[in-house]
Amino acid sequence: MQRYTALTATRKRRMEGEEAPSTSKQLKLGETKIVTQKNVDHAVLNFVTQSLQPFSLVDQPSFKAFLHDLQPNTSLMSRTTLRRKMDEAVLEMKINMKKAMSEIDFLATTTDCWSSRRRGFIGVTAHWVDPNSLERCSVALACRQLKGPHTFDVLACALNDIHAEFGIQNKVVRTTTDNGSNFLKAFRIYGEQDENNNSPSDEAEDDEMNDEMCDDEDVNSVEVDLVEVTAILDEDDGLQFQLPKHHRCACHLLNLVSTVDAAKACSNESYKKLSRSAFSKCNALWNKCGRSAAAAEIIEDVCKIHLIRPNTTRWNSLFLAFERILRIIKDQGEGAIRTVCTSLKLPM
């Protein structure tokens, strides 16, 4: 009876043109929330986007049945409609981002490149301080696939295009990257120079001197061919790139410093002997569980937890890998590691 009264009141409000109660408020007993087709489409779009689902999700019978059970009077959009709405949402988001950054005079960007599943990517984010609220704002500008090797000119071209796409190439005061040689060379050649970085590095100077010496020595021995100059002048050499000033990631610098300092500890012969012995045994265990599914199952059965494999490009991965082994010894005892090594025929 209460449900019927609530539904009748809702229909009466809709017929009289009155606004429905705010959806942000908690519904009372007997009240129902009106779900329109627009609400369903928006919810499906958010779910696919935020959970990284494929467009084929809307074609799966189980998902169609799930939506029909929840909202029998609504329909599920097709894959083509979902892709179109996704493109429209991306375009709207870019417009809002450009509008927000157009009101900012100074901002900074960060960028990084990486490889995953034999494909290269570059990611760029922008950061600024809101002049009114003094709150820090951050947005992700792009995550694009890179074709070919990650050379300095490829990175410079991609970064310059992203800055130009959002109209911020003249507003970026600094771009932060890691200490990769490709990024360092890109900003050394195409980036703005400041009082602390107004001359090429010693390595670049040595390369230029070597090139000049080679040119002087080989000028009389190399045959000269006449070529058409117009094609060379019209060729796009990438010198139109104008990157902002460069800033190296402080965390990455500290990580490199700590890595070098840790390696210097091996100057002590006693520590060097113990370190090599421990590392060799742990590396054998990590390689075994990474290459064999059966070995990984044995480790999980005995240790009740998986091992963490270190990665040279992942910060603190070596520390976390050793920490996991120490955790197993603390929780399961040293006998668990001995059992695993015996089963896998590894030295203990």
CA gap 155, 122 in Å, rounded? 8
Q: So what's the architecture of 103-194+237-248 in CATH?
A: 2-Layer Sandwich (3.30)
pLDDT of residue 316: 82
CA gap 325, 305 in Å, rounded? 10
Q: Give the chain's residues under pLDDT 70.
A: 1-32, 194-240
Helical H runs in 131-266? Answer: 152-165, 181-190, 202-218, 229-234, 250-264
User: Residue 77 in 3-state DSSP?
Assistant: coil
332: enclosing H helix or E strand? helix 317-332
pLDDT of residue 72: 87
Task: Tell how far CA 343 is from the center of its chain.
Answer: 39
pLDDT of residue 234: 53
pLDDT of residue 202: 40
User: Which CA distances in Å does 153 have to 111, 182, 223, 241?
Assistant: 15, 8, 30, 9
Q: Tell me the backbone φ, ψ of residue 247, rounded to 5 degrees.
A: -135, 125
pLDDT of residue 24: 52
The amino acid occupying position 283 is: N
Tens-digit pLDDT profile for residues 197-213: 443 434 444 444 444 43
38: enclosing H helix or E strand? helix 37-50
pLDDT of residue 206: 43
Closest Cα to residue 102, out of 67, 84, 126?
126
pLDDT of residue 125: 96
Structure tokens at 28: 């009372």
Q: What pTM was estimated for this model as a whole?
A: 0.66
pLDDT of residue 32: 67
Q: Tell me the backbone φ, ψ of residue 113, rounded to 5 degrees.
A: -125, 150
Break the chain into its structural domains and give their ranges. 2-18+28-83, 103-194+237-248, 268-344
